[in-house]
Structures are given as structure tokens and as C-alpha cells.
Amino acid sequence: MDFDLTEEQRLLKESVDRLIADSYGDFEKRRHHQDNPRGYSPVLWAQYAELGLLGLPFSEEQGGFGGGPVETMIVMEALGRGLALEPYLASIVLGGGFLRLGGREELIGDVVGGTATLAFAQIERQSRNDLHDVATTARRTEAGWVLEGAKSLVLHGDSATHLIVSARNAGARRDRAGISLFLVPADAAGLSRRGYATQDGLRAAEVLLEKVALPPEALIGAEGEGLPLMERVVDIALAALCAEAVGAMEALHELTLDYLKQRKQFGTTIGSFQAVQHRAADMLVALEQARSMTMYAAMMAENPDPALRRPALAAAKALVNRSAELIGKEAIQLHGGIAMTMEYKAGHYFKRLTMLINQFGETDEHIRVVAEAGGLPAAA
Amino acid sequence: MDLRYTPEEIAFREELRGIFRTKIPAEIRRKVSDGHHLTRDEIATAHRALHAEGLATPNWPLAWGGKDWTPVQRYIYNEEVLANAVPMPLSFNVAMVGPVIANFGSEEQKKKFLPGTASLDIWWAQGFSEPGAGSDLASLKTSARREGEHYIVNGQKTWTTLGQYADWIFLLVRTDPAAKKQQGISFLLVDMKTPGITVRPIITIDGAHEVNEVFFDEVKVPAENLVGEENKGWDYAKFLLSNERSNIARIGFSKEKLAMVKSRARETPAGDGTLWDDADFRRRVAIAEIEMKALEITQMRVVAGQKNRASDKPDPNSSILKIKGSELQQMATELMLTVAGPYAAAMPAHSHNEPPVGPDWAEGVAPQFFNYRKVSIYGGSNEIQRNIIAKAFLGL
Ligand SMILES: Cc1cc2nc3c(=O)[nH]c(=O)nc-3n(C[C@H](O)[C@H](O)[C@H](O)COP(=O)(O)OP(=O)(O)OC[C@H]3O[C@@H](n4cnc5c(N)ncnc54)[C@H](O)[C@@H]3O)c2cc1C
């Protein structure tokens, strides 16, 4: 058993922590990055590329740096601490996951270099978080494929150069079989998108697909077998989200503790009241439980066996969700009015955590996955 | 013991419902129900419609437009306003400064202020909290020094709800810097147009401009605007804060929100059917409803007990109602967040001048969830309420 990072991982952590501290440490900088039409800083994205962060999950043969879920965890935790806006989850974890596991290596170079960015177009009006609920259709033609449908809340979908679209080539709307995945250039004829800000300060897009004609090689993986691949990639994203949450919770907890030590009422610091101390202690308990489960998620994220992997990742997200809920709400409450303001950082962490809880499945949905599996796999 | 309303009480409730549903514009009630903030005009329209029916100030003394209602009728009124998504008449006017002036003000003050306060021709803001005086309100520093026929006010108030619309503000100010904390405080009425007052917006995490900072720089206030006696302001403030106890739980809000949660869940696709088919979700709603039923009966017990109490004494039961009531309101807004699902994430359309991304009711859901964190902070935070219970009830 070994919880220590390797020397290389420690260096990675130091450099990404430094980058995030420099570019987000002063909260005004985040507002500034946000004002960019893309909703994040392209300059900063280029720095991510220079540091090698964008190539981490890809193997060296693919043009990457051969990192794994632990490296992703290190990066996502730092991004969570800084409430970073860049599309690391969308383009590298999700998009990159589809490229490397779906055998689409030709685009990896541009993604690693930061010139191409990806977004995962999956949610539909009726689908909620069900990956297999797909009404968008893919029809085979002589020239390749034609996609027809609408996708919603595509994270960073407005600025991505390419979209990964789930579409149904066979079966009924909620069948598990018959779903295919497509790599679609954002400027494809018939594809239109409308971008907007999200509650947590990120960007998303509505994507309309009207007779979008694609060549045969747009298909990722095997026809009709998109779901298992989506589940693999989403599980990797769940591990990444857990790490982002841990970073955000850690920063929010620190911010709260600092405030409890400074803010005076009734002639003393509010942190001297035992009622407040116990609440801050419970926040730490929740944070450490989440950190443990995030390590478990990283360990299980790339396991190819869904029977082992799926309940493990669901368990991690369920626990992290509950910690995020508790820490977010308690941080606001223990600050009092000040945390209700846009001006102050705590509310922004709370909003990101609230939205993160809902990403790729809410708490009850994940608990259900674990329950239906009959619990967690025994010793891994 | 009979927990049911009498036939007369039911008739009274039906009469109120009829008025609320016909006299308050449907668009306004719809906006309230969807969790949106109202404009100045919408608040005024709803307030004046209630006033025209004699229903803006039922808790005032009879002579000033109040109602000769029983505690149960008052409770029914409060619940039905909220349960029908009617905006409460402006609480700063109706529940706060109005009763203080009616009870402690001079005859001139009553004549000058009460009619306009009831009709909202005068819009009031509450200037109590300061940057350094939140839970510990009595540590407030804004000062008023007497110079001839005037007080000169200096200092800063904050969290002033809707202060940007206010014509007047009622302040707690320190008039005797030498006296012990609570004893040197006075209650002063100040015209917001007086030179030396600056209002600055505070934007809250839901993106709304609901609260403000208000700065006072050598503001000259006629001495006749002092309410009651100098240095007795803390007593009036305590009266004011305990005055609204009958509505502190806002059960009507939670009731309306949970009803909406159920009806929206029934129309929200999920799985092969709707979200309402989801047993885990229904279980969460059931837990909220169980809590709500208990709170409703607790609230009724407090209401029924009121006839045996001296009405000027704060009731420690109000702390129980505040804690549970605020938790339930927050629980209801959180359930709505689940109903909206992924669509809760989109910013409201007005921020980008486009049609809404999801169902039109979904866009106010996350902002209201964020905004409602306030209900366990203001009006005496839930921690302060627990301190009160520990001291006043438990003798700890
Ligand atoms: C949206 C909003 C609207 C408001 N509108 C108005 C208004 O119109 N007019 C007005 O005058 N005020 C208004 N307020 C102010 C409100 O009353 C204060 O926010 C409240 O009194 C808490 O004060 P604070 O924010 O300074 O928090 P603090 O008093 O600094 O409290 C911070 C934390 O410490 C805890 N704490 C403090 N003391 C103790 C203790 N002894 N034991 C245990 N825990 C303790 C609190 O519960 C809280 O969790 C508003 C506030 C908000 C958020």
C-alpha cells in the first residue's frame, strides 16, 4: 500500500499548483478570464499546453505523456481549488478519453497542442443523466452518415472545434444497444449552436443537428456500440470531477476557517464559539472522506471491467456529492451574509459545487447503481 | 383537542383565497411561483391591490387599518398569502416600522407616516445591520449626535434589502456613546433624499440586486423624527423583531413550493416516464412533507398559545419555528433543483437576451436555491436561534 506520489507526480503537482495560483489566486483574474468570448483564457490554455497538461492522459505513442488517473486527479484538484474555467474536463478528460479509447488518434496532436478543443454532446431535452437515452438519429447513407437531432447543455460546446455526438443508428429511444458516437467538426454544414453562461461561471451550448452529413470515418468505435465506450469515458470523468470537487472543497474550507478566525461578533472571533467549531470540524471530516474516495476513484477509473468499475465510480461520486453538499452549505452559513455576495469567493465555490453534484448523475442515481450491483466489489 | 379549522375559519380562508386569486395579477403570482425577483412596480402593484381590499395591514391597530382577527385568522392570512404565491405586503412597512410607529410614535408621526406606510406611498427600508454588527446587532456604531433641532448621522448600514427603492429608512443609531451596548441606541426615521446619503448595490450570488450598502456622511435629520424616547431604541427594535413571529416559519412558501415540485415532477420526463415515477425522488418529497406537517401543527400550537401570553413578550417558540421553517424552505428549493435536473445549470435567458434553454420555469430554480441560503442567516441566524433555545428554554 502506498499513498505517496512519485517524484514525477510531485513535480507535476507543484507546477500545476503554481500555474493555478498565479492565474487564479487573485479572484479578479477569474472575472477577467471569464470575459473572454470563449469563457476562458486562450492564453492560459496555451500555457496548459506548454506545461504538458493537455497531453497527460495520452500514451507516448499517441503523442502524449503517458499519465493516468492519478495525474488527472492532480490536475483536476488544482483546477478545483482555483475554480478554473478552462475546458480540461470537456476537452482532455472527456474528449481525449473518446479519442484514445475509441482509437481516433489523428486529432490527438492538435488536442495536446491546444489548437483543437473537444466537447461531449450527449444530453437531450428528455434524457436527464441517462447516457442511453438518445433520440438524435444517425442514418447510414452511401456517402457516410447523416445526423439529425438536438443536444443540450454541451459543456464548452460553444468554443469547441469538434464535438463528440451520441446518436442512435438503431433501436428505440432508451435501448442500450444501437447508439453510435461521432466526431463532428463544429463547422460542419447543418450544425448550429448557441452558447450561454452557466450558473457556475462556465459555458455551455445548445447544439442543433439538421441533416449533418458526415464521412464514414466520423464514426468512433464500432457502430451501435457507443454506450459501453461512453460509460468508460464518463467513469473517467467522474473520477476527475471527484478530484475537482476535492480541490474546491479544500479551498472553501480554508477560506471559511480563515474567516472564522478573523470575524468578530460579541467581542470575540466567531470561531471561538463551540457550535461553530463543531460545524467546521464536520466539514473537515467530510472533506477527508471525499479525498479518500477520490483516490479510490482514481484507482478504479481505467478498469476495463464495467462490473468492477461502475459501482466503484458511482460510490465515489455519491460520497463526494454528499461532502460537497455539506461543505458548500455550511461554508455559506458559517460566513453569514458576506458569503451571499458575488464579490466574495465563497459563493462561487458553492455554486460550482452545486452544479458539480448534478453533473453525470445526482447522488440518488449513483447510490442506486451501487445498490443494484449488490454493493461494492470486495477487496480490489 | 381538535386540529381542524372550524367552518367559520374555513369560510374565512376561502374568502381570502378568492381575493388573492382574482385581485393579484396572474403574471405576478406566476413570477413569484417560479422563484423570480419582482420589479419595484410589481411589488407596488401587489401591495396596493391588497391595500385596496383592506388586506395589507391586518396586524396593525384597528384605528390605523388593522383587523380584529383571532390569532388563527392571522395565521390563515399569512399562510394563504404565501401559499397562493402572492407577494407579502412590504414587510419593512407592514410588519416592522408601521407597528413601531403605531405603538411608540407621536401623534404627529402616526398621522404623517402611517397612511403612506400602509399604502406604500412611502417605501421603507430597514437600516439595522452594519459591517461589524450582524448577529451582534447591539454593537452597532452608526452615530447620531444632537445639534439643536437636529441629529447628525454618520456611519454605514449594510444588507439593506430593496434600499435602492426606499423613500425612507428606519435606523438604529447610537445616541449615547458612553452607555452600555444596548442602552445608548435610538430609533430614527430618515428621508433617503437627505444630502449625505449614498446607496451602493450589493449583488448577491444569484445575480440579483436585492441588498445595498447605505452610507451616512453628516446627514442632518430633524429631531422630530426620533421615535419614542432617546436611548430606548433597543426596546422598540426588540418589539419589531418579535412582532413578525406569527409568520417566521413561512410554511405557506414551503407548501406552495412543494406543490410545484410535485406538479413539475409529473411533467418532467425521466426514464421511461416522469420524475414522479422515481421512487427515490418521491421519498425525498415525502420526507419534506412529513416535516412540513409537523411544523404546521407546531405552528398552530404556538398560535393557539398566543391568546394566553402577554403579547409584548417574545416567544421562544418562534426560534423553533424559525429553524425548522428556514430548513424546510431550503429543502423545498433544493427539491426543485433536482426537478430541473441538468437545466438548472443554464443562466436565465434575460442575461443573454435569448429564449430559455430548458423549460421556462427551470431558469429561476438555481438562483432561488442560492438566494434562499439567506433564510437561515437573516432575522437572527439559526445558530443564534439555537442559542436562544438553549438559554430561554433549556436553562443552559
Ligand atoms: C439577503 C439578506 C438580506 C438582509 N436584509 C437586511 C435588511 O434589510 N436590513 C438589515 O438590517 N439587515 C439585513 N440583513 C442582515 C442580516 O440580518 C445579517 O446577515 C444577520 O444578522 C447575520 O449577520 P452577519 O451576516 O454579519 O453574520 P455574523 O453575525 O458575522 O455571523 C457569521 C456566522 O457566525 C455565527 N454566529 C454568530 N454569533 C454566534 C454565536 N454567538 N454562537 C454561534 N454562532 C454564532 C452565525 O450564525 C453565522 O453562521 C440581510 C442579510 C441577508 C443575507
| Closest to A177 in 3D by CA, of A227, A137, A133, A218 | A227
Round to whole Å and give the CA distance between B345 and A156: 13
Strands (E), chain B: 124-127, 143-147, 150-157, 168-174, 185-191, 197-203, 209-222, 226-227, 269-270, 273-274
> Is B135 near ligand 1, meaning CB less than 6 Å away?
yes
Domain presence at residue B363: yes
Return the pLDDT at A89.
98
Please give the distance, rounded to the nearest whole angstrom, from the Cα atom of residue A267 to the centre of ligand 1.
15
Please give the distance, rounded to the nearest whole angstrom, from the Cα atom of residue A310 to the centre of ligand 1.
44
Instruction: Indicate the DSSP class of residue B365.
Output: H
Do B80 and B152 fall within a single domain? no
Q: Do domains A7-116 and A227-372 have the same CATH topology?
A: no
Could you write out the DSSP letters of every residue in A308-341? Answer: HHHHHHHHHHHHHHHHHHHHHHHHHHHHGGGGGB
Q: Is A337 on the interface with B (CB under 8 A)?
A: yes
Contact A342 B203 (CB under 8 A): yes
Q: CATH number of the domain that B262 lies in?
A: 1.20.140.10
pLDDT digits (tens, 9 = 90+) for A102-161: 999 999 999 999 999 999 999 999 999 999 999 999 999 999 999 999 999 999 999 999
Round to whole Å and give the CA distance between A33 and A86: 9
CA distance B149 to chain A (A): 34
CA distance B197 to chain A (A): 22
Counting beta carbons within 10 angstroms of the beta carbon of residue B159, is it exposed (0 to 12), middle (13 to 18) or buried (19 or more)? Answer: buried
Q: What are B152's strand-pairing partners?
A: B145, B220
Tens of pLDDT along chain B (396 residues)? 888 899 999 999 999 999 999 999 999 999 999 999 999 999 999 999 999 999 999 999 999 999 999 989 999 999 999 999 999 999 999 999 999 999 999 999 999 999 999 999 999 999 999 999 999 999 999 999 999 999 999 999 999 999 999 999 999 999 999 999 899 999 999 999 999 999 999 999 999 999 999 999 999 999 999 999 999 999 999 999 877 666 789 999 999 999 999 999 999 999 999 999 999 999 999 999 999 999 999 998 888 887 666 555 557 788 999 999 999 999 999 999 999 999 999 998 766 677 888 998 999 999 999 999 999 999 999 999 999 999 988 999
Q: What is the mean pLDDT of residues A66-93?
A: 98
Domain presence at residue B236: no
Do B211 and B309 fall within a single domain? no
> Is B212 near ligand 1, meaning CB less than 6 Å away?
no
For B205, the closest of A128, A329, A347 (CB atoms) is A347
CB A349 within 8 A of CB A255: yes
Strands (E), B206-305: 209-222, 226-227, 269-270, 273-274
| Closest to A207 in 3D by CA, of A90, A94, A121 | A121
Round to whole Å and give the CA distance between A345 and A20: 15
For CA atoms A225, A231, A232, A234, the dihedral sign is: positive
Please give the distance, rounded to the nearest whole angstrom, from the Cα atom of residue A221 to the centre of ligand 1.
56
> Is B208 near ligand 1, meaning CB less than 6 Å away?
no
Domain presence at residue B115: no
Count of structural domains within chain B? 3
For B280, the closest of A194, A343, A364 (CB atoms) is A364
Return the pLDDT at B246.
64
Do B128 and B156 fall within a single domain? yes
At residue A193, what is the residue type?
A: R
Round to whole Å and give the CA distance between A14 and A352: 24
pLDDT digits (tens, 9 = 90+) for A270-295: 999 999 999 999 999 999 999 999 99
Domain presence at residue B213: yes
Suggest the residue from B347, B350, B351, B363 to mutate for an interface test with chain A (most A CBs closer than 10 A).
B347
CB B375 within 8 A of CB B210: no
CB A171 within 8 A of CB A178: yes
Q: What is the CATH number of domain A227-372?
A: 1.20.140.10
> Is B374 near ligand 1, meaning CB less than 6 Å away?
yes
Strands (E), A14-117: none
Domain presence at residue B97: no
For B135, the closest of A206, A265, A350 (CB atoms) is A265
Contact B357 A340 (CB under 8 A): no
CA angle A243, A333, B363 (to 5 degrees): 70
Domain presence at residue B94: no
Domain ranges across chain A? 7-116, 120-224, 227-372
Do B311 and B252 fall within a single domain? yes
CA angle B279, B285, B287 (to 5 degrees): 105
Round to whole Å and give the CA distance between A349 and A359: 15
Round to whole Å and give the CA distance between A71 and A75: 6
Do B277 and B207 fall within a single domain? no
Burial annotation B285-300 (CB, 10 A radius, 16+ → b, else e): beebbeebeebbebbb
Size of interface A-B (CB pairs under 8 A): 126
User: Domain spanning A120-224: which superfamily?
Assistant: Butyryl-CoA Dehydrogenase, subunit A, domain 2 (2.40.110.10)
Q: Is B144 helix (H, G, I), strand (E, B) or coil?
A: strand
Do B158 and B67 fall within a single domain? no
Contact B344 A329 (CB under 8 A): no
At residue A83, what is the residue type?
A: L
The Cβ of residue A33 has, within 10 Å, a number of other Cβ atoms equal to 22
Chain A residue with CA closest to B376: the answer is A333
More confident call, A47 vs B243 = A47
Residue ending a domain, among B176, B202, B231, is: B231
Suggest the residue from A154, A193, A196 to mutate for an interface test with chain B (most B CBs closer than 10 A).
A196
Please report the atom of ligand 1 found closest to the CA of residue A337. Answer: 25
Cell of A115: 489548437
Domain presence at residue B224: yes
Cell of B38: 419582482
At residue B387, what is the residue type?
A: N
> Is B209 near ligand 1, meaning CB less than 6 Å away?
no
Burial annotation A135-171 (CB, 10 A radius, 16+ → b, else e): bbebeeeeeebbbbbebbbbbbbbbbbbbbbbbbbee
pTM: 0.97
| C-alpha A159: how far from chain center | 16
Please give the distance, rounded to the nearest whole angstrom, from the Cα atom of residue B378 to the centre of ligand 1.
5
Q: What is the mean pLDDT of residues A193-222?
A: 97
For A266, the closest of B136, B342, B367 (CB atoms) is B136
Do B368 and B282 fall within a single domain? yes
Round to whole Å and give the CA distance between A153 and A131: 14
Q: Is A211 on the interface with B (CB under 8 A)?
A: no
Whether the complex's predicted ipTM is more than 0.85 is answered with: yes
| Closest to B20 in 3D by CA, of B58, B46, B57 | B46
Cell of A236: 473517467
Return the pLDDT at A3.
87
**Where is B373: in which H helix or E strand?**
none
Q: CATH number of the domain that B216 lies in?
A: 2.40.110.10
Q: How confident is the model at residue A379 (pLDDT cuts 50, 70, 90)?
A: low
User: Domain spanning A7-116: which superfamily?
Assistant: Acyl-CoA dehydrogenase/oxidase, N-terminal domain (1.10.540.10)
> Is B160 near ligand 1, meaning CB less than 6 Å away?
yes
Q: Which residues of A touch B284 (CB under 8 A)?
A: 364
Do B85 and B128 fall within a single domain? no
Task: Determine the structural domain holding residue B157 and report its residue range.
Answer: 124-231
Round to whole Å and give the CA distance between A360 and A127: 11
The Cβ of residue A51 has, within 10 Å, a number of other Cβ atoms equal to 16
Please give the distance, rounded to the nearest whole angstrom, from the Cα atom of residue B322 to the centre of ligand 1.
14
Q: Residue for cell digits 399569512?
A: B78
Residue ending a domain, among B32, B64, B89, is: B89
Taking CA atoms only, the protein residue closest to ligand 1 atom 19 is A337
Residue ending a domain, among B200, B231, B262, is: B231
Do B252 and B389 fall within a single domain? yes
Cell of A154: 454541451
Round to whole Å and give the CA distance between B46 and B29: 9
Do B299 and B253 fall within a single domain? yes
Beta-carbon contacts of B226 under 8 Å, excluding residues fewer than 6 positions away, are B151, B186, B187, B188, B189
Return the pLDDT at A282.
98
Domain presence at residue B185: yes
Q: What are B133's strand-pairing partners?
A: B130
For CA atoms A41, A43, A49, A53, the dihedral sign is: negative
Q: Where are the alpha helices (DSSP H) in B91-144?
A: 91, 98-104, 107-119
